[in-house]
Amino acid sequence: MTSLTPSRSDHTRYLCGLAPVIPVLVIPDAAVAADLGRTLIGAGLPVLEVTLRSDAALDAIRAMAALPGGHVGAGTVLSADDARRAKDHGATFAVSPGLTDAIAAACEDLDLPLLPGVATATEAMAARDMGFDMLKLFPAEAVGGRALLKALAGPLPQLSFCPTGGITTATAPDYLALANVTCVGGSWIAPEADQRARDWDAIGGRARAAASLQGQVSP
């Protein structure tokens, strides 16, 4: 069975296929954004989600959007206004913890690809009916993690996921081993403390390790 409407997820599906991990970034100071972005992109993580959870987020998006080789999106998009401001500052995609008509319509109007969040089969079906087939599962660990994703693959095989929320470098390979998981998201790569300390070696090391992650079921 095919999707009821044309896919609105073509670009986000492409982005999710570029690397096994999308770093979820809470950036405390826009002054670190360019170096942070260069570190992550250089380590093999070209798709960056800057959450709209800090005052510096929009300026950080603008700084990162100018970097070559990266794809910078806004995360924690909760409203049409968030989507508009993100696009104005150079975001090329949006990520939301959920999916509302207002956000979907705004992203459509703005031509801003949206990776919407779902947490249940009903929400996944609603997203599919709206034309989204590349979804964020959020908060992944809290709502059932790998067991939920395996269960959803039966009735909803056309949907792919970027699980995010509570995933670590240790658990990511188990997620990546699932056929309906394209990549995972996580904040472990660039914690705020390392950003403030400008510890690019530590962040780069975690980013390189994340970029080389592959699907592997733990024993």
Residue numbers at the binding site for ligand 3PG (CB under 6 A): 24, 51, 75, 138-139, 164-167, 185-188
Q: Any idea what DSSP says for residue 181?
A: B
Nearer to ligand 3PG, 49 or 133 (CB): 49
Smallest separation (angstroms) from ligand 3PG to the CB of 49: 8
Beta strand pairing call for 160-163 and 114-115: unpaired
Smallest separation (angstroms) from ligand 3PG to the CB of 188: 6
Q: Any idea what DSSP says for residue 31?
A: G
Phi, psi of 183 (to 5 degrees): -160, 175
- 136 catalytic? Reply is yes
Out of 49, 108, 141, 150, pick the active-site residue: 49
**Run of H or E including 169:** none
3-state SS, residue 97: coil
Nearer to ligand 3PG, 51 or 160 (CB): 51
Out of 87, 108, 136, 141, pick the active-site residue: 136
Nearer to ligand 3PG, 39 or 187 (CB): 187
Shortest-Cβ-distance residue relative to ligand 3PG: 187
Kindly state the tokens that stand for 184: 């995972």
Spatial separation of the C-alpha atoms in residues 27 and 51, rounded to whole Å: 8
> Which of the residues are catalytic?
49, 136
